[in-house]
Amino acid sequence: MPEETVAASGLVERIGLEGSLLHYKAGETKLTKEIDIPNHETGLKQITQFLMDKEVGVVEDEKHIQVVGHRVVHGGKSFSKTVEVTEDVKAKIRNLFPLAPLHNPHNLRGIEVAESVFPEAKQVVVFDTAYFQTMPQKAYQYAIPKKFLEDHDVRAYGFHGTSHKYVSEKAIEYLNEKGLPSEKIISVHLGNGCSITAIKNGKAIDHSLGMGPANGLIMGTRAGDIDQSVIFYLIDKLGYTAEEVNNILLKESGMLGLTGYSDMRDIEERSAEGDENCRLALYINGYKIKKYIGSYIAAMNGVDAVIFTAGIGENSSVIRKIALEDMEYLGLHLDHRKNDVRGKTIRPINSPDAEKQILIVPTNEELEIAKQSYALVN
Amino acid sequence: MPEETVAASGLVERIGLEGSLLHYKAGETKLTKEIDIPNHETGLKQITQFLMDKEVGVVEDEKHIQVVGHRVVHGGKSFSKTVEVTEDVKAKIRNLFPLAPLHNPHNLRGIEVAESVFPEAKQVVVFDTAYFQTMPQKAYQYAIPKKFLEDHDVRAYGFHGTSHKYVSEKAIEYLNEKGLPSEKIISVHLGNGCSITAIKNGKAIDHSLGMGPANGLIMGTRAGDIDQSVIFYLIDKLGYTAEEVNNILLKESGMLGLTGYSDMRDIEERSAEGDENCRLALYINGYKIKKYIGSYIAAMNGVDAVIFTAGIGENSSVIRKIALEDMEYLGLHLDHRKNDVRGKTIRPINSPDAEKQILIVPTNEELEIAKQSYALVN
Ligand SMILES: Nc1ncnc2c1ncn2[C@@H]1O[C@H](COP(=O)(O)OP(=O)(O)O)[C@@H](O)[C@H]1O
Ligand SMILES: Nc1ncnc2c1ncn2[C@@H]1O[C@H](COP(=O)(O)OP(=O)(O)O)[C@@H](O)[C@H]1O
C-alpha cells in the first residue's frame, strides 16, 4: 500500500432514531452534523457526499475509489481468509445470520449499500473469525454431544481477529528487529469487548471467545466465563426467561454489573476515590486475565511475549499491573515505571533484565482491513 | 482416631425401583442381596441389620455406634467447617435445597433416618463446599449484576472438597517428610465428577467448579466450561427448552457426548483400537486440565506439587500424560515410566531431576469424613 495514512474518516450514530449524527474528519476538518438518517444506505450515501465535497472532501470522483474494505464479524468455518465479495460470499454471510444475529445482517447490508454507491469499486470482506481458523480441534470443540458440531457447527470461532492479527504481527516484527524470539505470543485485546489469543509461530492456537462474543475475559457489559448452573438457576429459581438472562449476561454484566459503570476510566477513578466495588471489580478483571495468560503459557509450554492492546490494554496501567504482578515464576516481570508511562507507539513495559517481553501494541483495525483489502486486489 | 480401618461397608442401589440391591462387606464377607427397598429409611435400616447381624455383623449393639458421619454436598456460605447436627443445621441444609436440588434433599433425608436408627449417636455433617470457603472474592464472584450475589448468594462454592482436602493434606505430609516445599499445591480430582483446586499454604484459593457441579473440567457426562452463547443458541435456534439444555449439559455431554462412552476405561480401550472420536476426546480432556494447571500456577506465582486423585486421576496414565507433557517451562517433568506403573499408595511420577513434584495420591473420602467426625466429638 503506497501510504498508510488516513485520508478521511466518518461515523454515523443513531441510524433510524431521532437525532442521528454524522461525524466526519479529514485533515484539519472535523465535523459533526445532525442529519435525518433513516437507514444504512442513507448513512453511507451521506458520508460519501462528504468524501466528495468540494471543500472538505478528499475524493474527486467516486470512480477513484477502487476498493471498499468491509468488516464482517462472523465467517463461521466458511472463511479462513479475506475474500472479494461475490454472490456466493454474500450467500454464505447470510447463512451465518443464526450464529451472529446482531452483527452479520448489518454487515451484509453495508456491503450491499457500498455496491450501489461505489458500483465500480471492488468490495472486500475481512472476517473477524478468519484468523482463528488455524485453531486445533481440541481448542475449538465443546464437550457436548458431537452432533451439535457436526450438524449445527456449534464450536468456538473467536472474535477480534483483525486486531489480534495486526498487533501480533507488529509485535513479531518488533521482536525480530531486536533479535528476540517471537514463536510464542499471547495477545490481550481489552476494549469494550475483551479477548485473549495464544499465537504459536504466527498462528492462533487458542482464544478466549467462543461461538458468540460473550465468554472468556470480563468485558464492559458482558460477563465473560460463567458457570452454566447460574443461567439455569436464574431461569428455574428466579423466574427469568432465557432471553432475559442472555440480555443480562451481554448488556448488564461485566464491569457494569459489578460496579454500575462500564467505562474503565470511570471505574479507575472511583476506585482511586475509595469505591470498594470498583476496586474489587478491577481485581476480579485482572485476575481473570492473569489466569488466561497462565493457561496459554501451559498450552504453548512457554511464552516469548505478552502484548496488550485496545482502549483498556493500551491505556489502563492498573489492569495491566493486576494481571501481571506476581508472575515472575512464568518469566514475566513488569516494570512499574514503564507501565505508568503513556504512549502511542509500540513499547516494552517489562523490566530490562526480564526473561520475557511484555509489550503495548496500539491496534489499528481499519488499517489492517485497508492493508488486507489492498493486498487482495493488487 | 484409634485405627484407620474399614470395619464394614455397605451400599444400596436402585432405592424405590424394582430390583433394589444391597451390597455389604465386612472382613472376608462380601454379599449382594436383592431386597425390596422402597425408600432411604428402609435402606439404612437394612444396612444396620447387616451391621449388627450375629454372623456377618461387626457391631454388637447399636448403642456402640457413637458417631454417624454424613456427607452433605452443599453447605452454601453458611458452613465453612464440619458441624454436629442441630435443628438449626438441618434448617440451613433445607434452605440450600434450591442451590443443590439433586443432592441436599437426599442428604438431609439420610441424616433424619440415621437419627431415628441410631438415636443415641451423634450426627456429624461434612460439607463438600466447606473446604472452599477460604477462596477470596475475586475467585468466587461472577461478573454479573452484583445483586445476584447480595440477594441470592449466586457465586462459586466448589465441590469435592472432602477429597481435595484429604489428598492435599496427605501430599503436604509427604512433601514435608521429604523436606520438600508444600506451599503451592494444585489438586486434580478426576472421578465421574472432575475438578481442580489451587491450594496455597494449605488453603483453597481457587477451584474449577462453581455454583453447581457442572463447569470447569470435562467430566463423564458433564460438559465442563462452555460458552453461554451455546446455551442460548440451543434454546433460540434449535428449539430446546432450558431444562432440556441443562439436562444435555449434565447428562449427555462430557466424554459421553464426545465419544458415546462415559467410562474412561472404555474410551481408552477404544482409542487404543483406533477410534478417532475417543482419541480426540482424550486430547480435549487432557488439554483442559493442562490449561487449568497453567492458570493456577499463574494465580499462585508458582507450584510445588501437582497431585492427581480419584478413579481417573489415580489410574489413567493417558490423561495424566496428555495433561502434563510439554510442561517443562512450568517446572513439570513427567517420568513416563513411573506414570505407567500402577499402585495403591502415594507416589511421585515426576522425573527425579525435576524441579517440581507430581504425585498420585489415592483419595479416601469416607476416611476423611470418619476422621473429621471423630475429631469433632472427641
Ligand atoms: N485512559 C484510559 N484509561 C483506562 N481505560 C481507558 C482509557 N481510554 C480508554 N479506555 C477504555 O477502553 C475501552 C474502550 O476500548 P476501545 O478499544 O476503544 O473499544 P472497542 O472495543 O469498542 O473498539 C473503554 O472501557 C474505555 O474506558
Ligand atoms: N484403570 C482405570 N483406567 C482409567 N480409568 C479408570 C480406571 N479405573 C477407574 N477409572 C475411571 O474412574 C472414573 C470413576 O472414578 P471414581 O473416583 O470412582 O468416581 P466418583 O466420582 O463417582 O467417586 C470412571 O470414569 C472410570 O472409568
Ligand nearest to the CA of A213: 1
Q: Is the pLDDT of residue B286 over 90?
A: yes
* pLDDT computed for residue B16 by the predictor: 83
Of the candidates B198, B158, B165, the residue with the CA atom closest to the CA atom of residue B76: B158
Side chain identity at residue B182, one-letter code = S
Pick the residue from chain B with its C-alpha nearest to A139: B284
Task: Give yes or no: A326 in active site.
Answer: no
Give A293's contacts in chain B (Cβ within 8 Å). 298
* pLDDT computed for residue B351 by the predictor: 96
Q: Is A34 helix (H, G, I), strand (E, B) or coil?
A: strand
Q: Is the pLDDT of residue A1 over 80?
A: no
Average pLDDT of the segment spanning A101-115: 90
Give B281's contacts in chain A (Cβ within 8 Å). 143
Yes or no, beta carbons of B143 and A234 under 8 Å apart: no
Nearest neighbour of B210 by CB, restricted to A227, A253, A301: A227
> Do the Cβ atoms of B259 and B289 come closer than 8 Å?
no
Q: Copy the grid coordinates of residue A374.
A: 489492498
pLDDT tens-digit profile of B244-267?
Answer: 999 999 999 999 999 999 999 999
Give B225's contacts in chain A (Cβ within 8 Å). 225
**Atom of ligand 1 at shortest distance to CA of A266?**
27
The lowest-confidence range among A235-249, A293-307, A322-336, A342-356 is A342-356
Alpha carbon distance A188, A194 (integer Å): 8
What percentage of chain B has pLDDT greater than the value 70? 100
Nearest neighbour of B248 by CB, restricted to A145, A224, A326: A145
Of the candidates B120, B267, B113, the residue with the CA atom closest to the CA atom of residue B190: B267
Ligand 2 pocket, mutate which of B221, B315, B321, B341 (most atoms under 8 A from CB): B315
Give every CB contact of residue B275 below 8 A, 6+ residues apart in sequence: B259
**Atom of ligand 2 at shortest distance to CA of B266?**
27
Yes or no, beta carbons of B137 and A280 under 8 Å apart: yes
What percentage of chain B has pLDDT greater than the value 90? 79
CA A262 to centroid of ligand 1, rounded, Å: 10
pLDDT tens-digit profile of A217-269?
Answer: 999 999 999 999 999 999 999 999 999 999 999 999 999 999 999 999 999 99
Average pLDDT of the segment spanning B289-304: 98
Is A285 annotated for ligand binding?
no
Alpha carbon distance B102, B108 (integer Å): 12
CA A209 to centroid of ligand 1, rounded, Å: 19
Alpha carbon distance B4, B367 (integer Å): 7
In angstroms, the separation between the Cα of residue A185 and the nearest Cα of chain B is: 15
Q: Phi and psi dihedrals of B38, rounded to 5?
A: -70, -25
Q: Is the pLDDT of residue B227 over 70?
A: yes
**Residue with the larger pLDDT of the pair B94 and B46:** B94
> Do the Cβ atoms of A209 and A99 come closer than 8 Å?
no
Three-class DSSP labels, B31-72: EEEECCCCCHHHHHHHHHHHHCCCCCCCCCCHHHCCEEEEEE
Q: Is the pLDDT of residue B2 over 80?
A: no
In angstroms, the separation between the Cα of residue A112 and the nearest Cα of chain B is: 26
**Res. A60 pLDDT band, cuts 50 70 90:** confident
Q: Phi and psi dihedrals of A193, rounded to 5?
A: -95, 150
pLDDT tens-digit profile of A125-180?
Answer: 999 999 999 999 999 999 999 999 999 999 999 999 999 999 999 999 999 999 99
Alpha carbon distance A226, B136 (integer Å): 17
Nearest neighbour of B144 by CB, restricted to A137, A257, A327: A257
Average pLDDT of the segment spanning B296-317: 98
User: What value does the mean pLDDT of chain B take?
Assistant: 94
**Res. B1 pLDDT band, cuts 50 70 90:** low
A258 touches chain B (CB under 8 A): yes
Ligand nearest to the CA of B71: 2
Yes or no, beta carbons of B295 and A299 under 8 Å apart: no
A302 touches chain B (CB under 8 A): yes
> Do the Cβ atoms of A115 and A133 come closer than 8 Å?
no
Between positions 30 and 59 of A, the ones with CB within 8 A of B are none
CATH superfamily ID and name for A180-365: ATPase, nucleotide binding domain (3.30.420.40)
Residue B311 CB neighbour total at 10 angstroms: 17
The single residue of A88, A128, A266, A326 carrying the catalytic annotation is A128
Give every CB contact of residue B52 below 8 A, 6+ residues apart in sequence: B59, B60, B61, B62
Residue bearing cell 458417631: B67
Of the candidates B109, B1, B4, B10, the residue with the CA atom closest to the CA atom of residue B51: B10
ipTM of the predicted structure?
Answer: 0.95
Average pLDDT of the segment spanning A32-53: 86
Residue bearing cell 456377618: B56
Alpha carbon distance A183, A304 (integer Å): 7
Give B254's contacts in chain A (Cβ within 8 Å). 143
* pLDDT computed for residue A212 by the predictor: 92
Nearest neighbour of B294 by CB, restricted to A254, A299, A326: A299
The single residue of B36, B53, B128, B304 carrying the catalytic annotation is B128
Residue B21: beta bridge partners? B13, B34
User: Measured between alpha carbons, how far is residue B65 from residues A81, A340, B14, B51 in Å?
Assistant: 71, 66, 26, 11
Average pLDDT of the segment spanning B206-229: 97
CA B264 to centroid of ligand 2, rounded, Å: 7
**Atom of ligand 1 at shortest distance to CA of A220?**
25
User: Measured between alpha carbons, how far is residue B24 from residues A22, B42, B47, B107 in Å?
Assistant: 79, 15, 7, 21
Handedness of CA A264, A266, A269, A275 (dihedral sign): negative
Chain A / chain B CB contacts < 8 angstroms: 237
> Do the Cβ atoms of A136 and A205 come closer than 8 Å?
yes
Yes or no, beta carbons of B143 and A287 under 8 Å apart: no
Residue B154 CB neighbour total at 10 angstroms: 25
Q: Using the CB atoms, write b or e for B314-323: b if 16+ within 10 Å.
A: bbbbbbbbbb
Give every CB contact of residue A273 below 8 A, 6+ residues apart in sequence: none
Give every CB contact of residue A83 below 8 A, 6+ residues apart in sequence: A89, A124, A125, A376
The lowest-confidence range among A242-246, A373-377, B205-209 is A373-377
Task: Tell me which DSSP letter residue B190 carries.
Answer: E
Alpha carbon distance A193, A161 (integer Å): 12
Q: Is the pLDDT of residue B361 over 80?
A: yes
Between positions 132 and 191 of B, the ones with CB within 8 A of A are 137-139, 141-146, 148, 152, 154, 156
**Res. B52 pLDDT band, cuts 50 70 90:** confident
Pick the residue from chain B with its C-alpha nearest to A198: B291
Q: Where along chain B do its domains lie?
A: 180-365
Q: Compute the CA torsion angle A158, A162, A168, A173 (nearest 10 deg).
A: 160
Alpha carbon distance A50, B207 (integer Å): 56
* pLDDT computed for residue B217 by the predictor: 98
* pLDDT computed for residue B64 by the predictor: 86
Q: Is the pLDDT of residue B305 over 90?
A: yes
Q: Is the pLDDT of residue A375 over 90?
A: yes
Q: Is the pLDDT of residue A79 over 90?
A: yes
- Strands B305-309, B357-360: parallel, antiparallel or unpaired by DSSP? parallel
* pLDDT computed for residue A100 by the predictor: 86
Average pLDDT of the segment spanning B126-134: 96
Yes or no, beta carbons of B329 and A236 under 8 Å apart: no
The lowest-confidence range among A151-160, B56-65, B208-217 is B56-65
B227 touches chain A (CB under 8 A): yes
* Numbered residues of the known binding site of B for Mg(2+): 365
Residue B291 C-alpha from the chain's centroid: 20
